Amino acid sequence: MSKVMDAKVMAVFTVAPDTYYMELEAPEIARLAVPGQFVHVRSSDSQDPLLRRPISIHMVSRPKGVLALLFRVVGKGTELLAQKKTGDRVNIMGPLGRGFTLPLPGSRVAVAAGGIGAAPMVFLVQELANMKCQVTVYLGARDKKSLLCDGQFVQMEAEVVIATDDGSMGFKGTVPELMRRHSDWRRTAMTYVCGPKGMMKEISAMLAEADVPGEVSLEENMGCGVGACLSCAVKITHHGQVTNKRVCADGPVFPSWQVVWE
Amino acid sequence: MRPNLGVTIGSINMKNPVTTASGTFGFGQEYGPYVDINRLGAIVVKGTTLEPREGNATPRLVETPSGILNSIGLQNPGADYLIKHYAPYFQTLQTNVIVNISGCTVEEYAELAAKLDGVPGIAGLEVNISCPNVKKGGMAFGGDAATAAEVTKAVKQATGLPVIVKLSPNVTDIAEIASAVEAAGADGLSVINTLLGMAIDVRKRKPVLGNILGGLSGPAVKPVAVRAVWQVYKAVKLPIIGMGGIMTAEDALEFILAGAAAVAVGTANFINPRATLDVLEGIEAYLTENGVEDIKELVGAAHR
């Protein structure tokens, strides 16, 4: 069951250009959340910006009752959020949406993350590590400075393979190009994907071709966050029929082979 | 003594004047975790058409200063699905469920109204007359007094349910349309629907919304909505459900003082899922603090 609460900011700092890490005291949400879910965040009490911002859950610490977000400043809402100080209150609603499907304990799995898409994957890999899964992370970013979460993945004993657009770290190229040079993901129980739309589309096609299962975490302009307003529609194929699903309530995570990419 | 909050729209007895704006509250269930729906005077559920509709291309929503533009395009599962899957749930509620209906021809409105007539769990119909009239060259029914009246008459003849007509603000003289709809037999009016608007992405040099045009709602439209309620109240005797940017009880009271018998909370639900109850509790507190025994004393009080 989702909650609405004023969460106290426990920490907030920048980790990369325009990218912020924020810890919020939200024991109930931390207890209920599963990897891939999000919280709907009010960045200010004013009416401009008006809407909440959906932000994926980056990490939870259940013993501490803390929820961590990792977000990029892309507009007025996220800019206001980044200006919060320790001790401030932020109104959040969550956990919302349907998260990733977890594999059997001990499975071999792959994670493909690009840019800020790495944010929800830390929570996922945390859970996978607890399940003694063998994880390979294909991690991409524009450049070395913008690369996110690589240290965290290593700490959780995942194998991390890196690609940057400019080659300033790891392979020079995109995450799908990086994956083409590796074969591990072809033998996994699941490949979890989060990143720019183009990247997710390309990897979904690769997964389909290799006939291996995958899940993608989608994004769309969102209103209510609870499945009422039907703003965040996405086309999904189910039993041969294309229907609208709601990113907020039916997703954000969908089977990679079911998404109809535009 | 607790003030009397009860109001009547046609034959719909509402225990209080607070309801929801169609399209912002789904079918009610979506807000179940946040709101005790049974405390509301009524809920107006998602716009329904005779046949299922897929809706418009995304993006369907964009934020604008103190408002949002939406172009959902009436995505809905159709009347048969509503009757089979949602009406049984409506029956379990201790509040009035009003179904918002849309059509593209007068006959379609009438057929839909007839289909929903007598379905247990449905207390009334709200008629969305903003749908483009295909037969008359794409002009919205709500933009013209004669066509608005024609739809109203057809729906009234097709159903025994109370009929509330939702007026569009995208007209020169909303009072004229309200009068025509009243003469055609409507039981109440919802004032207002969204304002037609658009936004352009200057980086892409393209309209933001997939559908190009959208409906503006939220606090940005409130003064326009209050004005519309004021003008309609002067023109007709029908009870009005006022809506347009209501975020707080104070906003709601503005509408009531302008002439609304009831108020609908819309966009605010997205920001504060408990907005309906906050508005209700705030209205009750205002009445108590000001020694007003009955909410009806305030309806249109700013005119006197």
Instruction: Give residue-wise pLDDT tens across range B1-56.
Output: 789 999 999 999 999 999 999 999 999 999 999 999 999 999 999 999 999 999 99
Distance CA A127, CA A21 (A): 20
Q: Which of residues 262-281 of B touch A (CB under 8 A)?
A: 267, 269-274
Beta carbons of B218 and A234 less than 8 Å apart: no
In A, minimum Cα distance to B23 occurs at A229
The residue-averaged pLDDT of B147-166 equals 97
> Is the pLDDT at B137 greater than 90, yes or no?
no
State the smallest CA–CA distance between residue B222 and chain A in angstroms: 12
Q: Which two tokens stand for residue A114?
A: 């690009």
Residues of A in contact with B273 (CB under 8 A): 4, 93, 224, 226
Phi, then psi, of A58 in degrees rounded to 5: -85, -40
B252-269 pLDDT per residue, tens: 999 999 999 999 999 999
> CB of A50 within 8 Å of any CB in chain B?
yes
Q: Which of A93, A224, A230 sits opposite B55 (nearest CB)?
A: A230
Residue B293 has a CB neighbour count (10 Å cut-off) of 12
Mutate which of A231, A242, A262 to test chain B, going by most B C-beta atoms within 10 A?
A231
**Contact (Cβ atoms closer than 8 angstroms) between residue A251 and residue A209:** no
- Residue B215 has a pLDDT of 95
Kindly report the average pLDDT of chain B as a whole number: 95
Measured in degrees and rounded to the nearest 5, phi and psi for residue A103 equal -80, 180
Q: Splitting chain A (262 residues) into consecutive groups of 10 residues, what average pLDDT does each group show?
A: 94 96 97 97 94 97 97 96 97 97 97 98 97 97 96 96 97 97 92 97 97 96 96 94 96 97 87
- B78 at the A interface (CB within 8 A)? no
pLDDT band of residue B133 (cuts 50, 70, 90) is low
For residue B130, what pLDDT band results from cuts at 50, 70 and 90?
Answer: confident
What is the distance in angstroms between the Cα of B66 and the nearest Cα belonging to chain A? 5
pLDDT tops 70 at residue B138: no
Q: What does DSSP say about strands A241-246 and A233-238: parallel, antiparallel, or unpaired?
A: antiparallel
Q: Which residues of B are catalytic?
A: 131
Residue type, B16: N
Name every residue whose Cβ is closer than 8 Å to that of residue B145 and which is 6 or more positions away in sequence: B176, B177, B179, B180
Q: What is the pLDDT of residue B140?
A: 78
- Axis crossing angle, helix B249-258 with helix B275-289, rounded to the nearest 10: 70
| Closest residue in A to B270 (Cα–Cα) | A224
Mutation site for A-interface testing, chosen from B22, B61, B222, B250 by largest number of A Cβ within 10 Å = B61
In this prediction the pTM is 0.95
User: Given this model, what pLDDT does residue A262 score?
Assistant: 80
- What ipTM score was computed for the predicted complex, to two decimals? 0.94
Q: Report the share of chain B in percent with pLDDT over 70.
A: 97
Nearest residue on chain B to A222, judged by CA atoms? Answer: B61
Task: Choose the mutation target among B60, B72, B217 for the interface with A, i.e. most A CBs under 10 Å.
Answer: B60
CB-neighbour burial class of residue A100 (10 A; exposed 0-12, middle 13-18, buried 19+): buried
Say what the pLDDT of residue A183 is: 87
User: Phi, psi (5° rounding) for residue B297?
Assistant: -65, -25
Residues in chain A with CB shorter than 8 Å from the CB of B58 are 220-221, 231-234
Using CB atoms within 10 A of its CB, is residue A184 exposed (0-12), middle (13-18) or buried (19+)?
A: middle
- Residue B271, C-beta contacts closer than 8 angstroms, at least 6 positions apart: A42, A50, A51, A52, B247
Residue type, A236: I
Query: Residues 6 or more apart from B191 whose CB is under 8 A from it?
Result: B166, B167, B174, B178, B225, B228, B229, B232, B240, B241, B242, B243, B244, B260
The helix (run of H) or strand (run of E) holding residue B241 is strand B240-243
CB A116 within 8 A of CB A19: yes
Q: Is A51 on the interface with B (CB under 8 A)?
A: yes
Is the Cβ pair A48, B65 closer than 8 Å?
Answer: yes
Instruction: List the one residue out of B63, B59, B45, B31 whose CA is nearest residue A226.
Output: B31
3-state SS assignment for residue B138: coil
Q: Would you say residue B134 has pLDDT above 90?
A: no
Per-residue pLDDT band at B132 (split at 50, 70, 90): low
